[in-house]
Chains A and B, each alone.
Chain A
Amino acid sequence: AQSVTQPDIHITVSEGASLELRCNYSYGATPYLFWYVQSPGQGLQLLLKYFSGDTLVQGIKGFEAEFKRSQSSFNLRKPSVHWSDAAEYFCAVGDLGLYTGGGNKLTFGTGTQLKVEL
């Protein structure tokens, strides 16, 4: 069965500093990988996704993630964090084809809570 591990429950960074959130996955084939962000009291917003091709993917809000098959990782990065980035970040792996109509069964990691110090 697929699984996702986010080793860091909480991370605190200073505004303007760089950020890297870790994500490791377990999946038998080429995974579909996602990063979502959840601001307080909000739903989940898709930051970026990886299906195939270039292993470095760009997302919204200046985020990027790199897929490393050899390390089973899909870490999220941002060169300069803004105070508004404080939120919870979820990594997810999708298994296309588990439904007859297509779509993905998403398995989420436990999330990383990001705090930004001014």
Chain B
Amino acid sequence: SAVISQKPSRDICQRGTSLTIQCQVDSQVTMMFWYRQQPGQSLTLIATANQGSEATYESGFVIDKFPISRPNLTFSTLTVSNMSPEDSSIYLCSVATGTSTDTQYFGPGTRLTVL
């Protein structure tokens, strides 16, 4: 499976600011996804990061709040905009690749705390 890294691993931010999270993969992957895991909760899919086109967002998530970029097949960013304490979560990227696009592998996550 691919090796996935995320930056930053954790951050503490002030209300009203924005944070960009990076996801880097060591090989080209077909699909990249972004998930949110709120404290004590399960994972919820935010969006699919599409290479060369706009991301596909799930119900309840909008581009203005969570803009996503995917400039190539190994890298994606998720920005959490105009943050509030309710955005405090772990944000994880995942990838699906090659002939096994039906299986997702996850990065280590970014733990975000908003004060």
User: Which residues of A approach B to under 8 Å, CB–CB?
Assistant: 32, 34, 36, 41-46, 49, 51, 90, 94, 96, 99, 101-106, 108-111
Bound CA–CA A34/B41 (angstroms): 18
Q: Could you tell me if B31 and A101 are in contact, using CB atoms closer than 8 angstroms?
A: yes
A90 lies within 8 A of B101 (CB): no
B41 and A110 contact, CB distance less than 8 A = yes
Nearest to A6 among chain B residues (CB) is B42
Min Cβ gap B92→A in Å is 6
> B111's closest neighbor in chain A, by CB?
A41
Q: How far is the CB of A2 from chain B (nearest CB, A)?
A: 12
Chain A residues in 8 Å Cβ range of B107:
43
Contact B42 A111 (CB under 8 A): yes
Nearest-CB distance from B42 to chain A (Å)? 4
Contacts of A46 in B (CB 8 A): 1, 103-105
User: What is the CB-to-nearest-CB distance from A12 to chain B, in angstroms, rounded to a whole number?
Assistant: 18
A37 to chain B, nearest CB (A): 11
Q: How large is the interface on B (under 10, 10 to 19, 20 to 34, 35 or more residues)?
A: 20 to 34
In the assembled complex, the Cα of A104 lies from the Cα of B43 at a distance in Å of 14
Are the C-beta atoms of B42 and A104 separated by less than 8 Å? no
CA A44 – CA B106 in complex, angstroms?
6
CA distance A45 to B42 in the complex (A): 14
Taking the complex as formed, is B30 at the interface, i.e. its CB lies under 8 A from any CB of chain A? yes
B96 to chain A: closest CB distance in Å?
5
Pair B42/A110 contact, Cβ less than 8 Å: yes
12 residue pairs of the A-B complex, CB under 8 angstroms, read: A43-B4, A43-B6, A44-B92, A45-B106, A46-B104, A51-B102, A99-B31, A101-B101, A102-B101, A103-B102, A103-B104, A108-B44
Chain B residues positioned under 8 Å from A108 (CB to CB): 42-44
User: What residue in chain B is nearest A99 (Cβ atoms)?
Assistant: B48
Q: How far is the CA of A42 from the CA of B90 in the complex (A)?
A: 10
**A103, B30: Cβ atoms closer than 8 Å:** yes
Identify the interface centre among A44, A51, A94: most chain B CB within 10 Å of its CB.
A44
Q: Which of B6, B31, B56, B94 contacts A102 (CB 8 A)?
A: B31
Chain B residues near A96 (CB-CB < 8 A): 102
User: Does B67 sit within 8 A of A, measured CB to CB?
Assistant: no
